[in-house]
Structure 1
């Protein structure tokens, strides 16, 4: 019986939590929470968190962490805004300022981890401050705005679909999640990353290049944060030097709540997306009930502790089975 419950929890636990939380807030705000406009708003607000959570997922999958993603959001947003103001075409600005810059920042994390041999927690804690400092320096601690309106309309706009306006950020988040899901489920790279997270020493003995895959993992995390930086900049209409502050907590929470093991080697992108939506629902529901924003920090911290505890409990039961 316990084994059956464990299997059900692993498969459907996150989705069940999402439904339960939605029902609770639906009861507290029956005429507002389940309205079409509010559901759309939840999906829109969750898009940035889902993007960075998908990247952090890979770092956690190898039993690491990436604390720099919030600062990467700010810095890539700055790069993109600077390129737009310099007259670059929006697509080129997005590719260079968001995707490529995010990949470079992620590669810096990976290279530092490989060269120093330090845990990713230490390296990304340091680069978190460095990247934020660079963002503040190049912006002189001021927001950058006044770029082409076509950029914000394209990246943060809506696309009509059978009479329904779908937010572009949501489509971007879904597209990135599908690509990363394919990588983890259908490619040799994905299998190697899972093996590395399960047991890095065994992975090395089986011929997996541990340093190369560590580098790739942090490049993926950087790219996801870079794309999130572009989306965040487009949504706000300006590049803020303090953008993304504290977002690493929400990204980690989304990944852990979504069933990713903090001890590596276990997790699915689908669960991360569900985790991001759970956080979006909780944030939206608390706002609708006029709960002060800082209480959300307490809720997220509690959810992380609870999720890791549950993961450890089920892992222990599985070993004892």
Structure 2
């Protein structure tokens, strides 16, 4: 009993430590800004670069301004880096992000959700799309909400959502017009981006403000981010550029959450060499051994049938021989019958008539 109690104690303690570890990790990599007012203290967690600025009393962040004289580009990034693979054994991390945004009707790059590794110059800009450097030495992931058709990158149209890996050429793209939406209509749109480490799939959803989260994603893209950056830390953010137009891009709210997936929920890859090293020998059963096994199986089946029949007969015999037991006060009592004597008297007149 003492050993069982001790094992239960250690199991409960381990679960408690794992719970607090998960909560602590999630709290360090989770934020939720309904707005960007000063009392929200967003500056402690978010950094603004380029032309990005808080306007209208903190009601939203304007990433690009309306300046036709020069390129306007900006970005807002989470200050703390995150790890998609952590711990030993390795724990795969999933994430979910949501943001509410609007893009003015002019022609520009639109908006992009970015994931870049540590070392990426966040405060440097060039003439690249979305204000990103065209430098292939950094592995990057972009989810672009593109409002400019650029033949150089093989864009589908000027109203699409795409997933870009290590560049600006979309590996998976979806036409937003099929949803009866226009990215640069000026109205507020909301997007959900989810990465599930278990299924290794990145999903993007889009809808108007006030509508429910779509059940079917606009884009579903298979990718293993744990192989892309391994144990390297990455930054997450939003970026935009207007390509010398008057297009403005505003972000009204933004949330991000990490979700750790336990190690035991993932299967480890098998080593194919382990199967090559093993030689399989074909064993042939002898005829005499096969006959003896068949005979033994038949005897076993017959014995089981006989035992079952015996049990059924035994139970039936017990039930058939049972007689009802009636309490003593309920036993049948003898019933007495009274007999009366009847005397037949013949009428004298009848007798005389007979005579």
Which category of TM-score, normalised to the shorter sequence, fits these structures?
under 0.3
Greater percentage in strand: 2
Considering fraction of residues, name the structure with more helix.
1
TM score, norm. by length of structure 2? 0.21
User: TM-score normalised to the size of structure 1?
Assistant: 0.23
Higher relative contact order (CA 8 A, sep 6+): 1
Greater gyration radius: 2
